[in-house]
Structure 1
Amino acid sequence: MQGFNKYYPPDYDPSQGSLNKARGKRSGKHALGDRARKLDQGILITRFELPFNIWCDTCHNHIGMGVRYNAEKKKIGAYYSTPIFSFRCKCHLCDGWFEIQTDPKNTRYVVVSGARQKDENWDPEENGGFAVHGKIIDTERADAPLDPLVALEKKAVASKNMNEVQIPRLESLQSISEQYNADPYSLSLKARKQFRLEKKVEQSKRKADDLIKDRYGLPTSLSLLEDDDEMVQEAKQKWMKGKEEIQRNQNLRDLRPRRLAMDRLSIPTPSSRRIVSQSKEQTLASLKARILVNTARKSYSFGGGQPIS
């Protein structure tokens, strides 16, 4: 059995690339050899086989289908995602060049320059037949040829389409129409009721939004978001947190004057002691005078003496 092993030179390093790349670095040439001499121009030399018979415009000789050339392959465009390639070949009978391009849209090759394609397309209409591919026969014309097979095929397709597509579709549309037109008053009543409910909800939302905008001085063109349970819960938590922080700051502010007042009361001065003793003496004197007046009034009411002013 013949072996298929490759020779790996001693200085070959797999981390630097493939074996062909290593050989190219060693020899200073591309892995494709002379075929890549125009690779910097986007041209690759490849073998190209003529897909049809052509006539060379330079030497006017016939070149048969299947003749192979070393063609210059180049990408010249794209049809959607399919690339369009150009093959430039040199005639083997003269020094002329001809170019053939691919046509992905029509799945064919097209001669662009330097040659012309030999027309070998067979037209069945010219030979007493009927065009089946690429043309549509208008059977409604008076001078159109009558093909029984084509007419039968069209009739069968039309009948199948009528039975499988059009008739079920018409029946479904008719049933829907009958369902809607059975009681138009009740359907209209339901529609108007639903419309009124939606209108009330929309008006209430708009009114609530206007109140919020007026309260906080927001622009009328501002659109507010709808209430959400998650957003409401988050706003409530932030509100409670801010309220607790404000209450804490207020308590701290109220606590400072109290401490100052307690400090002042805890250290009495001689003048304050004198004022307190004088106020106590005045209170006792006024209390004694009031007791004497009340006693005199009672004695006057029982003894009949003169009233005491």
Structure 2
Amino acid sequence: MQGFNKYYPPDYDPSQGSLNKVRGKHALGDRARKLDQGILITRFELPFNIWCGTCNNHIGMGVRYNAEKKKIGAYYSTPIFSFRCKCHLCDGWFEIQTDPKNTRYVVVSGARQKDEDWNPEDNGGFAIHDTEKESVEIDPLAALEKTTDAKRQMETVAKPRIESLQVVSEHYNSDPYSLSLKARKKFRDEKKVEQQKRKADDELKGRYGLPTTLSLLREDEKSVQEAKDLWSKAKVDHLGAKRRRTTIEVSSIPATTSARLPPSSSSKSSTLDSLRTQILQNTAKKSAVTRSLHNSTLRP
């Protein structure tokens, strides 16, 4: 019986210690059977593809084994662990260790890692060189010149800029209450103006039966002048069209003469001629008035 179950026999005495101690079992059970040798049985997952050295079979990344975990050293304060696994395809054993210096795993024995490194040069890319720079002797004169330039830059550019930023910061942060008061007063005034405009727009929409979702333009000098120009132009176009219709109607009246009409209709023809003359005179007067109004409207 494992010592970590929840069954306590009737003869169990708590003064004897824990149930594991009474039964002579470890808390980790069968995983701690080699704990006296410093080995702990743990579940280990392959971090990469390998080839077994005994059966020469491929073992894919992610396959899990009950590995024997053992501490074999340390890199500074980081321990180095060894994982010894038995191949599930044969009776061979292989060992993988951690490499804290290079932050990777290394196959030590019993297998070989599948080489999957990608070389940029072989695939039309650029070569990746070692980023660690070799130690080069520093020229004292060049270092001194660089230090002098840095000091000059600091005195002429950096220091005045920092001082100006400090002045601006002190100006805006010297009295935050008054600044907040001004900002809130400005927001309240703008809100009142916006509410008045919204109220006027709602009244206008209700008066003319406009939809509530319609957004009205704000009145300014430019929009007012454009509206006046459009109104004057539409008025002139309307009067011109009316004048043309009147001219067409008058011209469609046949011109009769006393020679063509019998004596009984001579009075009617004279009446029509006088009516035609009067209509033409009225039309000419309206045209003159319309032109004068249009010129006075367009005059700056």
Provide TM-score, normalisation by structure 1.
0.40
Q: Which structure's CA Rg is the greater one?
A: 1
Provide TM-score, normalisation by structure 2.
0.41
Greater RCO structure (CA 8 Å; 6+ sep): 2
